[in-house]
Structure 1
């Protein structure tokens, strides 16, 4: 039952994304950084996607694979091994499952995060994605709360996905 619910939510998100028209704040699209200061429990759904904030916060969170990077909402951030040269190789259906962490400003480093490893890259759609150690960062749609790492060590869309450590490398575990 639970698996079919996730598939249904994902299908609804893909349907809404493919309907065209002007994207309104809060509509399906990239998960963004406008929840700076929001508690992890205030995150409403993996398909929610508010507009980008002026600054994206990147912090560290404790998970079953150790301390890893998390977004402003406390959810785990991932790298995609198919990305090359600091550019994202994930768009369309891929970005629906692995929403990019986007911002309208300079990313901000939380405690334990190396500010000199934070950066941004422009995506094909013109949005600005947060990077860490030149890896574009993504959420995973099946992670619903802080501490979830269901996207760690997962193969999908042509390569593997990993949670990211403070050193900018894939987490072990």
Structure 2
């Protein structure tokens, strides 16, 4: 497990870049896909291959990541029901309304997030990070956290 100060983890340029990506997802229905990478196996991503994470401090259908936490872990936002790619279980894919009224994509009822320090497709630096009152994990197509330790 790796630990980081969430408000220090997200640099301003990467946060702005990711905010643009999140905005692009929100202009239409988001799509969830599956990629594979060792040692994690198959995990959920957006259409550009950016990893999606779940937060152990969340409850089904309820996000506990706002303010500083959301700056480091931007929610995966959409404007309508998300679409599923190959190997994504459509019955597990849904949305929930955040406190700010935005619609966040959920999988197996758990809210999905990006990690601001991930630099593009295939980056998984948010895996097994502890911070903001919980741990962050990639999500399997079966809707479970992938609890494989991150490679150093």
Please indicate the TM-score interval, normalised by the length of the shorter structure.
0.7 to 0.9
Larger RCO: Structure 1 or Structure 2 (Cα < 8 Å, ≥ 6 residues apart)? Answer: 2
Q: After TM superposition, which residue ranges in structure 1, 4 or more long, deviate above 4 angstroms?
A: 11-14
Find the partner of 1:162 among 133, 137, 149. Answer: 137
The yes-or-no answer on 1:57 pairing with 2:58 is no
Q: TM-score, normalised by structure 2?
A: 0.83
Aligned to 1:62, the other structure's residue is in SS state strand
Q: Deviations over 1:127-162 (max 9, x none)?
A: 000000001000001111211111111101000000
Q: Determine which structure has more spread, i.e. the larger CA radius of gyration.
A: 1
The yes-or-no answer on 1:85 pairing with 2:85 is no
Q: Relative to structure 1, is the Cα distance of residues 112 and 13 closer, same or farther in structure 2, using a 3 angstrom cutoff?
A: closer
RMSD: 2.0
Higher strand share: 2
Contact 1:100–1:139 at 8 Å: present in 2 too? yes
Return 5+ residue gaps in structure 2 as ranges: 1-7
The yes-or-no answer on 1:111 pairing with 2:86 is yes
User: What's 2:4 paired with?
Assistant: none
Return 5+ residue gaps in structure 1 as ranges: 1-6, 15-27, 29-44
